[in-house]
Structure 1
Amino acid sequence: MSLTWTQIDLVSGIINSGRGTGNKGRAIVPMIPELRAEMARAASIRTTDNVIEYRG
């Protein structure tokens, strides 16, 4: 799975992994406050659109 920053909603505190194929849905995951804070920190220093950066 390729998670991008457009799938991270820091305001609402959710991760939306997008639409699945066919009739399979994808998860919408709520973030706990600690994860939300770390994701906000990571978003502020990101260098690509991917959440997990190669050699990052």
Structure 2
Amino acid sequence: MPDELVLVSGRVRKSIRRRLKLYAAEHDIKLQVVLDEALDEYLTRREAADAKAREGRDA
């Protein structure tokens, strides 16, 4: 079952918003899908990098 969508509030640069909206429109997907996928990908990469750094310290 997919996670429930919740409201997240934050500010981004105007140029980022423009790029997000353009990308979503060009690919016929909702802006919230682009944001969700981008944040998920970012966090996955960061968590992996953090885990690798911890492994290096623990070795």
Same fold (TM over 0.5): no
Which structure: greater strand fraction? Answer: 1
Task: Identify the structure with the greater helix proportion.
Answer: 2
The higher-RCO structure (CA 8 Å, 6+ apart) is: 1
Q: TM-score, normalised by structure 1?
A: 0.35
